[in-house]
Structure 1
Amino acid sequence: MKNATIFLMFQGQANEAIQQYQQWFPDLTVESLMYMDNSQQVAMAVLNLMGLKIMVNDSNIQHHFTFTPSISIFVECESLNEINHLVAHMLKGGKALMPLDNHGFSERFAWIQDRFGVSWKLTYN
């Protein structure tokens, strides 16, 4: 096995999602980004979030499914301010699957599905 990577397939929102994630995570870098011919749809992009590689594309085939919250990206925050900031921004157009709170296993934890349908688990201990 050479590698394993998270792959997020969007249906026309990949470019918008990449821009949003860059705002939420200042350390996120775009390692590569290719667009489909004569389009702003993403043929393939590779993001790097603190060493986590995330591949992103727009499917040019319409599917009758989207993201499910059973798979999520887990982020360990460095401060209360950071987790509060991320949760507040992710909730704009998104929804809390578990609201930010002390759930016993973490001092502050939230499970958020963002406006694109991608699920994030955020923790601060």
Structure 2
Amino acid sequence: MTTLSTYLMFQDGKAEEAMNLYIDVFGGEVESVSRWGSDGPGAEGTAQLAVFTLQGSRFMCFNSPPMHDFDFTPSTSTFVDFDDETELDRAYQVLSEDGAQLMPLDDYGFSKKFGWVNDRFGVSWQLNLPHS
């Protein structure tokens, strides 16, 4: 079986916190969480790998103990189409808190309303309310 998952790697032990935020914003469920043990390179009890779904899409987030010379980039983002403007506005507000607003919510011509943010973890989200 082939599966496709969006993979998010964190270097600061915040994978589980990020997963919980995304489940709160978009709705979803945790499939599994494996945790670092006393003999692992990560902090004991923290999430090592978490698998979860958001609106039927599968995500994996990993806490990487070693520091790397790279971070998240806006060239990789998750594009979300909303049916409801109120839900779009809430997602934009919550995800941009302590993050960065790359494109403020507005009508850019290609949809009714669009916004692009990097959340406080550096993950990039394009939020869209398409024309009917």
Contact 1:14 1:57 in 2 (8 A): yes
Gaps of 5+ in 2: 39-43
Cα distance in 2, alignment partners of residues 114 and 71 from structure 1: 13
Aligned identity (percent) is: 40
Describe the SS at the equivalent of 2:22.
helix
> What's the C-alpha RMSD, in Å, of the aligned pairs?
1.3
Matches within 5 A, 1:1-125: 2-11=2-11, 12-25=13-26, 27-38=27-38, 39-125=44-130
What is the distance in 2 between the residues matched to 1:40 and 1:104?
Answer: 47
Letter of the aligned partner of 1:74 in structure 2?
A: F
Separation in structure 2 between the aligned mates of residue 21 and residue 2 of structure 1, nearest angstrom: 24
The structure with the largest alpha-carbon Rg is 2
Instruction: Look up the equivalent residue of 2:33 and give its one-letter code.
Output: L
Give structure 1 regions of 4+ aligned residues with deviation exceeding 4 angstroms. Answer: none
What count of residue pairs does the alignment treat as equivalent? 124
Distance 1:57 1:40 in 2: 14
Gap regions ≥5 residues in structure 1:
none
**1:24 CA drift (Å):** 1.3
